[in-house]
Amino acid sequence: MRTNLKIAWRNLWRNKRRTLITVASIFFGVLLSAYMTSMQEGSYEKMVDMVVKYYSGAMQVHHENYWESKSINDTFEESQDLNQLILANEEVDFVIPRLESFALASSEELTKGVMVVGTVPEPENRLTSLKNNVRQGSYLSDNDQGLLIGEGLADYLRLGINDTLVMISQGYHGISAAGKYPVRGIIKHASPELNKMIVYMELKNCQEFFSANNRLTSLVVNIKDNNELEKSLRKLRETLNSPYSIMSWQEMSPEMVQQIESDRAGGIIMKAVLYIVIGFGILGTIMMMIAERRREFGVMIAIGMQRYKLATILFYETLFIGMIGALSGLLISIPLLSFQAQNPIPLTGQAALVMEDYGFEPYMFFSTEPSVFWHQALTVFLITLVIALYPIFSANRMKLINALHA
């Protein structure tokens, strides 16, 4: 085996330039493909983060009719028993009770539709890290009578800290809801869309505003490991009965899941084209390597080398080319993409506006998930394996006497 490896390795460098060109094509293919995948996955991660980490959490428990009606009437009563039942699942980390609805919010001169989220400040911060996003004023405290509003909303309504915001809405079972609240803090929400319309209130304060005492629209369920989502969802579904229902973030945001899937499919097609080009590049090199060494192969078989051993050498050569290309590609792409992940590329001009219109931050984010890298290595390895079949067939089909006269 050592001799076969040695021969294969030395054969690679018989035509250095050609080998290096082939290796370079794989290198750039892997780099490009890793870059593209990292950018795609980075943006998906950001999108999911925006939904999961900054708003919905991994799962939510609702009243079974709530998701259809989105009405404050389809709420459920806050209960310690329910909390305990959910927390009894070992995958569950913590829960956040929320009461959410919409209201008209007015400052001295302006009015705007807003989304009101009543929540418990500390667990809410644990999920969304809202405290870190406070730009002016302070974060909500327990029993706080003030509000935390998005920066965009504050700008629109021209509100500052301690200014008063007046809200009117429809409360529980049609009771009119109205109140005026001081602005305790202004936050920059990670979601540009929510940044323009969000109002956070302390839960009790919110329940009072909507006359929905002790009622919740949702119980946000956070799990310790997001990879365990399916498992814990299945378990909680078995645990929770009517009138409760539980939904995963994917079920609550199907458009986003679909958007990610279709975008991912587009990326796969692009990468497939890229890899097909690389594959034919490797195949071309291997075919040339075989064509110009037919006589040598003939001699090797003539003096006693079994065809399968010859095929093994050719297999190693193909594998070496693939491995050198893929490893060098990974070697450069890992630090490059790690750097990019720490320093996302800011978008400017029209592109930035479009992104913000869609509710995303105007940055190109990068992912450094291991799959971004090992998928490329695996793909090149599989392509190499497929291409390596050619020299194996070729060695087995070779007519010895023709090869000797080549």
Partner 1 sequence: MGTHNHQTIQPHNHTAMTIIEIKELFKTYNDSEVEVHAVNGVDLNIEEGEFTAIVGPSGSGKTTLLNMLGGLDQPTSGNIRIDDTDLGKLKSSQLIDFRMKNIGFVFQSYNLIPVLTAKENVEFVMHLQGRPKKEREARTMQLLEAVGLKGREDSRPSKLSGGQQQRVAVARALASKPKFVLADEPTANLDSKSTENLLNIMEELNKQEKITFIFSTHDQRVVNKAHRVITLEDGKIISDNRKK
Positions in the binding site for partner 1 (CB under 8 A): 3, 7, 10-11, 14, 295-296, 299-307, 309, 400-401, 404
As measured in angstroms, the least distance from the Cβ of 4 to partner 1 is 9
Residue with Cβ nearer partner 1 (269 or 303): 303
Residue with Cβ nearer partner 1 (304 or 349): 304
Instruction: Dig out the tokens for 240 from the structure.
Output: 């929770």
Residue with Cβ nearer partner 1 (1 or 269): 1
As measured in angstroms, the least distance from the Cβ of 319 to partner 1 is 17
Q: 403, 301 in Cβ contact below 8 A?
A: yes
Instruction: Dig out the tokens for 314 from the structure.
Output: 């050719």
As measured in angstroms, the least distance from the Cβ of 318 to partner 1 is 16
Residue with Cβ nearer partner 1 (27 or 320): 320
DSSP notation for 7-74: HHHHHHGGGHHHHHHHHHHHHHHHHHHHHHHHHHHHHHHHHHHHHIIIII-SEEEEETTHHHH--TTS
Alpha helices in 240-369 (DSSP H): 249-252, 254-291, 294-302, 307-342, 349-357
Q: Which residue has the tokens 């750097």?
A: 339
Residue with Cβ nearer partner 1 (254 or 304): 304
As measured in angstroms, the least distance from the Cβ of 298 to partner 1 is 8
Q: Which residue has the tokens 């869609």?
A: 358
Q: 340, 38 in Cβ contact below 8 A?
A: yes
Residue with Cβ nearer partner 1 (14 or 180): 14
Angle at 345 between CA 339 and CA 346, to 5 degrees: 145
- CB neighbour list of residue 66: distance below 8 Å, 6 or more residues apart: 74, 75, 217, 218, 245
As measured in angstroms, the least distance from the Cβ of 321 to partner 1 is 16
Instruction: Dig out the tokens for 141 from the structure.
Output: 């405290």
Residue with Cβ nearer partner 1 (309 or 375): 309
Q: Is 31 exposed, middle or buried (0-12, 13-18, 19+ CB in 10 A)?
A: buried
As measured in angstroms, the least distance from the Cβ of 352 to partner 1 is 56
As measured in angstroms, the least distance from the Cβ of 371 to partner 1 is 38
Looking from the CA of 253 toward its CB, the CA atoms found within 13 Å total: 19
β-pairing, 198-202 vs 111-119, is parallel
Q: 201, 181 in Cβ contact below 8 A?
A: yes
Residue with Cβ nearer partner 1 (224 or 295): 295
As measured in angstroms, the least distance from the Cβ of 58 to partner 1 is 58
